[in-house]
Amino acid sequence: MRGSCVHTTAPPDQEVLALGSADMYCVAHGNGLYLYAGDTKVYTSTDGTNWINSANPANITFNDILFHNDLFYLVGWDGNTAGACIMSTMDGTHLSGNLPPADADSTNCIAHGDGIFVAGANSGKIWVSASGISWSRLQPAAANIFDIQVMAYGVGRFVAATNEPSIIYSDDGVTWAPAVAASGGFPSLATITVRP
């Protein structure tokens, strides 16, 4: 299950607002647990109403969450290493650093499909992993691509949107091509949903 990008500086309700003032960007659900993350904060909830601050990773901003096979995968920016950040957790409290080699571009989105994890980053970079632990960087995803903002997998295809705006796609997560826009080009996208 892919997390939903919230991309807001205001939490969705007053109960969450009372928990903290950090910018929060993404939320996902899996194994009876909601995970809500953003700028140096991770909150968890079993009912979506009552939240606890479960982790405070210093100088780390999470941009997206993916739940897959009992783990939440969080991607973002690690201000401690000034590089890309990919971490995982079962419970939102114990975060494991699945950091790729030092890279100066933030990871913004993550998807899983057909046995492969794919994370999109700034400067058109793509990170791929079969395990979710060891990551390899591809660059660039396609010619003239800027920051990859959102990504989804469905019907045998990864689809990602950039801040140009443009859309790129891949059937294997490794080879990417630009999608063809209808007249007038693509509108700016905040979220992609792929349905079978």
pLDDT by residue (tens digit) across 155-190? 999 999 888 778 889 999 999 888 887 665 665 555
Q: How many Cβ atoms are within 10 Å of 169's Cβ, its own excluded?
A: 15
Token pair 């957790």 is found at 89
Average pLDDT of adjacent 10-residue blocks, the chain of 196 residues: 38 38 83 92 93 89 94 91 88 80 80 96 90 83 74 94 85 89 60 50
Provide the pLDDT for residue 181. 73
Separation of alpha carbons 146 and 162, rounded Å = 6
Q: Which amino acid is at 33?
A: L
Three-state DSSP state, 62: strand
* pTM for the structure as a whole: 0.81
Select 4-178's CATH number: 3.40.50.720, 1.10.10.60, 2.120.10.80, 3.40.50.2000. 2.120.10.80
Provide the pLDDT for residue 160. 92
Provide the pLDDT for residue 37. 92
Separation of alpha carbons 91 and 26, rounded Å = 16
- 177 alpha-carbon distance from chain centroid: 20
Three-state DSSP state, 35: strand
Report CA-CA distances (Å) from 121 to 11, 32, 141.
24, 29, 10
DSSP letter (8 states) at residue 186: P
Provide the pLDDT for residue 13. 39
DSSP letter (8 states) at residue 184: T
Domain extents in the chain: 4-178
Provide the pLDDT for residue 156. 95
Q: What angle do CA 39, 146, 176 make, to 5 degrees?
A: 110
